Amino acid sequence: MEVSARPHAGRPITEVYPHLTARETFVEPDQVDASALDVAFVAYPHMESAGVVRDLSGAGSKLSWISADFRLKEVALYNEWYGEHPCTGS
C-alpha cells in the first residue's frame, strides 16, 4: 500500500491520523509506483488529477477519483465549465 499526500510526505500515517493503524509513511505523488497498485483512489482538485488518473489508468490500476477531469463525457462541456481539458484527446 502506498499513500500519497503532498503536505504530509515523509510523515507516518499514524502521526497525521492517530486513530488509524498503519505502518506506512506518506510519499510524494511522483514516488508512487503505479505498476504495483491494484486499486487507486485519487482526490486531487480538477486539472491536477487528470495526469495522475491517465498514468494510473495506463498502468492498469482500477481507479476511483473525485474530480471533474473525467466525469464529463463531452470534452466541449468540460471546456465550457472548467477551461481546456489537461489531457489532449480525452
Diameter over CA atoms, the chain: 44
- Using a cut of 0.85, tell me whether the model's pTM lies above it: no
Q: Mean pLDDT in the chain? A: 83
Least confident of 2-11, 19-28, 66-75: 66-75
What's the mean pLDDT in 3-21? 92
**3 DSSP β-pair partners:** 26
Distances (CA, A) of 37 to 32, 40, 58: 9, 7, 12
pLDDT of residue 12: 95
